[in-house]
Amino acid sequence: MSATTVSPGELRAARLRLRLRNSASFGRRLLSRPEGLLGIIILAFFSVLAAVPELLVGALETATTASGSRLQPPSAAHPFGTDRLGRDMLNLTVHATRISMVIGLLATAITVFLGALIGIVAGFLGGLVDTILMRITDFFLVLPTFVLALILAPILLDIIGANAQLFGMRVTLVVIVVVIGVTSWASTARIIRSQALSLRERTFVARARVIGSGSGQIMRRHILPNVVGLVVANAVLVFAGAILTETTLSFIGLGDPFQPSWGQILYAANAAGALPIGAWWFMAWPAASIILVVLAFTLLGSALDDLLNPRLRARR
Amino acid sequence: MAGGYIGRKLLQAMATILAIVILNFVLFRAMPGSPERVLLRNPNISAAAKAEIRAQWGLDEPLPVQLVSYLGATAQGDLGYSFKYRGQPVLDVLGSRFWPTVILFGLGQLIAVVVGIALGAYSGWKRGGVADYVGNGISLIFYSAPYFIIGMVLLVVFASMLGWFPTAGMSSLGVRHATLADELIDFGRHLFLPLTAVAIGLIGQYSILMRASIVETLGDDYVTTARAKGLRDGYVLRAHALPNAILPTASLVAINIGYVVAGAITVEVVFNWPGLGTLTVEALSARDFPVLQGIFLLLSVAVVLANLVADLIYGVLDPRVRA
Amino acid sequence: MNPPDPQRLGRERPDALADEHRRAQHSAASDDRPEAPRQAISPSVIEARERTRGRRQWPLPKLADPNAPLLVVDDLTVHYRLEDGWVRAVDGVSFRLDDGQALGLAGESGCGKTTTALSLVRLLPANARIKRGKVELFGIDLVPKSESALQRYRWREISIVFQGAMNALNPVLRVGHQIAEPLEMRLGESRGRARRRALELLDLVGIPRQRGNAYPHELSGGMRQRAMIAMALACDPAVVIGDEPTTALDVMVQAQILELLEQLRRELGLSLVLITHDLSVIAETCDRVLVMYAGMVAEEGPVRRVFAAPRHPYTTSLLRSFPSIRASRRTLDVIPGSPPDLRNPPTGCRFHPRCPAAMAVCSEQVPPEVTFEDGVRVACHLFPPGSPGSVAVAAPHGEAMSSAAAAPGKPPS
């Protein structure tokens, strides 16, 4: 067989095709499981709501543009009822989807980035670096990070100033994103580190070393692609956690009334004393949305776990 | 159990607590500019008053000195004074709210562990069938719902709509009870809904994990050996599978303690339960940093200690870690 | 002049005692060895066993037929149900085990050895079904028995030594406790008595008594395996099944364990079913060997006969793939191809796609089992009924995988 040279472009194209084909079959396998399917359907639904809320329910109502009278139970005009200011609950809930999801997404990005970075570096380099990083990680694992987030938020707000806007989001929300990201990375780091540790012993790493690749290169080109699967599976669960944390932080008052998330709506409901008087519609829809989204992520995470850990599959 | 194991865990716990205290210090004092901003919000304070406050808080000293005096003060229980409750020592403020929280969460955790493990083990053993599917689904929903949402649902349904339970607080206001029994009953009525909220959320988690654990354990070889020995199914579950399956759940209980704290705060808010949770929210809105720090310290130390206890218990349950 | 040794992996131990031992073993040809009566045991062990005899209906269960052979398996057929069909893991396997005998089940991975052994006490996973067949212990058929009736026989009559004792022992329970457990739970002994008996068992297998308090992870691989053996012997079973008991061990430890098994067999008159893919182990320990392929019996007979003069082409190939330390150096002979997918096994003889001697009839008819004078049973069309030296024929009862019905008495071609 004659030696043919393959151009780097062809190689890249071939790799891409292979990756796409693998992803397609992976996707199909994921959808064939009831948990995976349900999870994806729910997430798709909420993603649509988050993407184009104006198309579905019009602009976000404010105190001045409230369309109904205060605290009305669900009716024909307002199928989800109205809030304390008379705003349509359906409108509020749909708009809040985007806020909650975006915060969740950004916080997850930070968490996963930090966690993967620390995990890969610690696992691959080992030795003193590993020990130090893992001590820090373990510290963060033990810490009640929620309380830490709770304290950090007002501190950061004070420093930055409450009424500025960053990337189209009000500062309060940016702070929440940062605070969640900075406190939640520890478990991701641990998981990725284990994987990096075992990858370090594989032959392709030794080969890369032999041809003179530096640690940074190896980590980027060899370790990173091999932990991506784990990172994605982990990111799904981190996302669920981020949404829960954001909801809780907003519920205790750290949210923003002008860009309300689901948690913020619940805070408003509680503050308005809606519950003792039985105005259940004020809280039911955001609550249900939160539960559904977290449920979807949990199901998805479980389905991904099944796919990545076939060992457990046989026993079900 | 190897003294070495206990010793190690104790040392780790102490080191962590030290780190927490230092973190506390860093947050408050070393954040760029923040002591000034926080302490001296009022722009109308005269320069002399500012200087006096700074001297009082030791803000003029170099940081390491501040750290040492902070450590010393903390070790003696001096956690500063509350902003909001003018001049009251933080320790006192915390003390007054401590027990309601402990009761709510201690009891909730206890109930959840027992019920969750039992439920999970049973459904793992008898997996398959409609009951298992439905039970799993319900557990999953409770697992996905934040504790306070469960609390809100309970509140709306059982307290406002049905009126079976009071809607807020730990005791009925302005009511004098004739006997201790009456007081306890009243306490119990107030405790019931928040306790249920905490317990349900946790039960969801523990039963799901326990079920998965049991399913996995039942596939292990030593279970086959036990069945080969002709031992009855119930005995195999109890004496062989359970001691192994319980290990991940034990770990989760330990890890959870940190997260339960988040739930603690919010459930108390929903039910206006006068514990550390409501204190936190009040302190937050008043930017009462000494109290917030005190809560952070207290909760962190509690979590570390709880983890320590969990580690020790785990050492008893799993002989392999003692090596 | 010693008969040719079956291939061994250089298991000879250097010291004189071992040589003595080995010579004594092999001077009596294995099939001439007198059947060790079950009561032929050394005095201390007799004493130990007297103490536990009290409540047991020793030596036979109530329903047992005292004249029946120890264990007879007839036409055992076990299938596994998968999503896309049935796996015919074991199809029409028959054999017999007499008192004090050791039978080796040999074959590649996936040939059905473990399934056969586990199905004797119905320890199969939930998706397995015993479709057909009889398992007669002392003449009592265990197959139709209900789960609770069968439980009585588990461990008390048939016990198992599993491979990989690290996983087969419960990691959070002490080893001594696990040995004593069947005594307490199955025989109803008091805790004290059970504990004492467990210590005696530890003595029997050569584990120092204090180690009985250890957890499995604190013991070495060899000790764990000994503990498994002690556990298997706890209720003085009639049959002990060893499922690859030495596979997970290194060679030196393997030798020790095999020697222990031999010793116990002699002293206690154990009857053993040894499952392994390692023919050298069978050569050393067993009286008879049953070679399985793809869920069916290929050849069965006294170890020396089968290993010295194999009839079935699969047996020949299997023997050839084990290097002999004495023979001249050559490349390993590998059997081409791979074992068949048992969801759709080949028609006729299941080995025919890989068989160097395959004929036309091999793909059409399942070969009947023909027994020869020297005690060897073969299922191969090279040895059809009526071959010289054959004494009996048994048509496989298995579902007809042939296009024409098997006809006994076909003249050799």
Please tell me the predicted confidence (pLDDT) of residue C124: 87
Please tell me the predicted confidence (pLDDT) of residue A133: 92
Judged by a CB distance cut-off of 8 A, whether residue B180 touches chain C is no
Average pLDDT over residues B34-57: 64
Confidence of residue C7 (pLDDT cuts 50, 70, 90): very low
For residue range B237-274, what is the model confidence (pLDDT) as tens digits? 889 988 988 888 887 777 777 667 777 788 898 888 88
Q: Which member of B227, B230, B244 has the closest CB to residue C172?
A: B244
For residue range C360-396, what is the model confidence (pLDDT) as tens digits? 888 888 888 889 888 899 998 888 888 887 777 776 5
Query: For residue C59, is the peptide bond before it cis, meaning its omega torsion is within 30 degrees of 0?
Result: yes
Are A153 and A203 contacting, i.e. CB atoms less than 8 angstroms apart? no
Residues of A in contact with B20 (CB under 8 A): 143
> What tokens does A192 get?
């990725």
Residues of C in contact with B323 (CB under 8 A): 217-218
Asked if residue C23 has pLDDT above 60, the reply is no
Count CB neighbours of C158 within 10 A: 25
Please tell me the predicted confidence (pLDDT) of residue B44: 64
Residues of A in contact with B216 (CB under 8 A): 312, 315
For residue range B75-94, what is the model confidence (pLDDT) as tens digits? 777 777 777 777 778 888 88
Asked if residue A38 has pLDDT above 60, the reply is yes
Question: Which range scores top for mean pLDDT: A255-259, B53-57, C50-54?
Answer: A255-259
Average pLDDT over residues C250-260: 87
Question: What's the gap in Å between the CA of A310 and the closest CA on chain B?
Answer: 12
The full 3-state SS of C126-137, as one line of letters, equals CCEEEEEEEEEE
Best residue of B126, B127, B213, B225 to probe chain C, by most C CBs closer than 10 Å = B225
Return the percentage of chain C with pLDDT > 70, whole number.
Answer: 78
Judged by a CB distance cut-off of 8 A, whether residue B102 touches chain A is no
Please tell me the predicted confidence (pLDDT) of residue C399: 41
Asked if residue A28 has pLDDT above 70, the reply is yes
> Which of A263-272, B41-50, B156-165, C204-213 is predicted with the least confidence, judged by mean pLDDT?
B41-50
List the domain boundaries for chain B: 3-75, 90-322
* Closest among A240, A108, A297 to A185, alpha carbons compared: A108
Give the pairing of strands C288-293 and C102-106.
parallel
> What tokens does C340 get?
């068949």
Asked if residue C315 has pLDDT above 70, the reply is yes
Judged by a CB distance cut-off of 8 A, whether residue B323 touches chain C is yes
Q: Which member of A266, A280, A316 has the closest CB to residue B156?
A: A280
Please tell me the predicted confidence (pLDDT) of residue C41: 41
Where does C90-217 have alpha helices with state H?
A: 113-120, 147-151, 165-168, 175-185, 191-205
* SS percent in chain C: helix, strand, coil, step 5: 35, 20, 45
Asked if residue A257 has pLDDT above 60, the reply is yes
Q: How far is CA B277 from CA A244, A272, A274, B258, B293, in A?
A: 17, 19, 20, 14, 14
Please tell me the predicted confidence (pLDDT) of residue B24: 82
For residue range B124-175, what is the model confidence (pLDDT) as tens digits? 877 777 777 787 788 888 888 888 888 888 888 888 777 788 777 777 766 7
Question: In the A/B pair of chains, how many CB contacts fall below 8 A?
Answer: 142
Best residue of B127, B222, B223 to probe chain C, by most C CBs closer than 10 Å = B222
Q: Do B320 and C217 touch (CB under 8 A)?
A: yes
Q: Which member of C152, C168, C172 has the closest CB to residue B225?
A: C168
Q: Do B320 and C171 touch (CB under 8 A)?
A: yes
For residue range C72-114, what is the model confidence (pLDDT) as tens digits? 999 999 999 888 888 989 988 999 998 888 999 998 887 888 8
**Which run of H or E residues covers position C140?**
strand C140-141
**Alpha carbons B31 and C41: distance in angstroms, whole number:** 83
Q: Do B229 and C123 touch (CB under 8 A)?
A: no
For residue range C394-403, what is the model confidence (pLDDT) as tens digits? 765 544 333 3
Return the percentage of chain A with pLDDT > 70, whole number.
Answer: 94
* SS percent in chain B: helix, strand, coil, step 5: 80, 0, 20
Contact partners for chain B, using 3 or more CB pairs closer than 8 A, are: A, C
Question: What's the gap in Å between the CA of A290 and the closest CA on chain B?
Answer: 7
- For B221, nearest residue in chain C (alpha carbons): C168
Asked if residue A166 has pLDDT above 80, the reply is no
Which has the higher per-residue pLDDT, B74 or A193?
A193
Best residue of B25, B152, B252 to probe chain A, by most A CBs closer than 10 Å = B152
Q: Do C170 and B228 touch (CB under 8 A)?
A: no
| Residue A239, C-beta contacts closer than 8 angstroms, at least 6 positions apart | A104, A105, A108, A297
Residues of B in contact with C182 (CB under 8 A): 229-231
Please tell me the predicted confidence (pLDDT) of residue B298: 85
Give the pairing of strands C158-161 and C239-243.
parallel
Angle at C298 between CA C296 and CA C304, to 5 degrees: 135
**Alpha carbons B107 and C157: distance in angstroms, whole number:** 50
- For B307, nearest residue in chain A (alpha carbons): A142
List of E strands, B170-268? none
Q: Which member of B148, B161, B303 has the closest CB to residue A251?
A: B148
A82: DSSP letter: B
Asked if residue C56 has pLDDT above 50, the reply is no
Confidence of residue B1 (pLDDT cuts 50, 70, 90): low
Best residue of B126, B229, B316, B317 to probe chain C, by most C CBs closer than 10 Å = B229
What average pLDDT does chain C have? Answer: 78
What average pLDDT does chain B have? Answer: 81
Which has the higher per-residue pLDDT, C293 or C269?
C293
Average pLDDT over residues A68-74: 79
Are C297 and C95 contacting, i.e. CB atoms less than 8 angstroms apart? yes
Confidence of residue A24 (pLDDT cuts 50, 70, 90): confident
3-state secondary structure of C103: strand
Please tell me the predicted confidence (pLDDT) of residue B252: 79
B246: DSSP letter: H
Q: What part of A 149-178 touches B (C-beta under 8 Å)?
A: 150-152, 154-155, 158-159
Please tell me the predicted confidence (pLDDT) of residue C402: 37
Q: Do B231 and C152 touch (CB under 8 A)?
A: no
Confidence of residue C5 (pLDDT cuts 50, 70, 90): very low
The CATH class of the B90-322 domain is mainly alpha
Q: Which member of A142, A152, A155 has the closest CB to residue B258?
A: A142
Average pLDDT over residues B35-64: 66
Question: What's the gap in Å between the CA of B306 and the closest CA on chain C?
Answer: 23
What average pLDDT does chain A have? Answer: 83
